[in-house]
């Protein structure tokens, strides 16, 4: 896999964080668990149930030594998130993410959850705009 990074960009690989001081390009010649800086969610961005789930999977990728604890957090957050959403597309995406985690395909789980974020945002916006009717 060929990867290009800009100056100052971070790259997370097998639990290590690398930061480059200039534009670089390199090729990974074997299997590695990695995240590009653009895919990393910061703590302050974890403001919704799906974002919390994404963050947990991200921790599993970035720090493989803590995967058992993060796995428990993922399962609990998944149950909570499923209870929060009735949307069929979100539920299908959560099922895919759960399957990917079971198959140790964490990056695919991140992608599945990331696809759901715009749907979640729309769903949350709609629930905020619904105003209760006044009793007569």
Residues 79 and 122 in one domain: yes
134 within a domain of the structure (yes/no): no
For residue 96, the Cα-to-chain-centroid distance in whole angstroms is 13
Tens place of pLDDT for every residue, the chain, 136 residues? Answer: 888 999 999 988 887 889 999 999 999 888 877 888 888 999 999 999 999 999 999 998 888 777 788 889 999 999 999 998 989 999 999 999 999 999 989 999 999 999 999 999 888 776 665 455 544 3
**Which whole-number Å values give the CA distances from 58 to 49, 53, 74, 133, in the listed order?**
14, 9, 10, 41
With b for 16 or more beta-carbon neighbours within 10 A and e for fewer, the 64-74 pattern comes to eeebeebeebb
136 within a domain of the structure (yes/no): no
Identify the H or E element spanning 25: strand 24-27
Residues 33 and 80 in one domain: no
Residues 58 and 36 in one domain: no
With b for 16 or more beta-carbon neighbours within 10 A and e for fewer, the 91-119 pattern comes to eebbebbbebbeeeebebbbbbbbebeee
120 within a domain of the structure (yes/no): yes
**CA atoms of 22 and 48, how far apart (whole Å):** 35
Residues 92 and 111 in one domain: yes
Residues 76 and 11 in one domain: no
Q: Model-level pTM greater than 0.85?
A: no
All residues at 6 or more sequence positions from 100 whose CB lies less than 8 Å from its CB, including other chains? 106, 108, 109, 112
Q: Which pLDDT value is given to residue 128?
A: 62
Residues 64 and 36 in one domain: no
**61: domain range?**
41-129
For the CA atoms of the chain, what is the radius of gyration?
A: 18
**CA atoms of 30 and 85, how far apart (whole Å):** 39
**Which whole-number Å values give the CA distances from 91 to 2, 27, 58, 87, in the listed order?**
34, 36, 20, 6
Q: Which pLDDT value is given to residue 56?
A: 95
């Amino acid at each position: 896999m060929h990867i290009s990074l800009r100056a100052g960009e971070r790259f997370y690989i097998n639990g290590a964080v690398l930061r480059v001081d200039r534009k670089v390009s390199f090729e990974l010649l074997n299997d590695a668990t990695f995240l590009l800086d653009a895919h990393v969610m910061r703590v302050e961005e974890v403001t919704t149930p799906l974002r919390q789930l994404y963050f947990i999977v991200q921790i599993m990728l970035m720090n493989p030594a803590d995967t058992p604890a993060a796995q428990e957090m993922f399962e609990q957050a998944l149950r909570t998130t499923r209870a929060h959403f009735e949307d069929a597309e979100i539920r299908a995406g959560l099922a895919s993410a759960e399957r990917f985690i079971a198959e140790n395909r964490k990056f695919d789980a991140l992608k599945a959850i990331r696809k759901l974020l715009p749907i979640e945002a729309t769903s949350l916006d709609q629930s905020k705009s619904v105003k209760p009717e006044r009793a007569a």
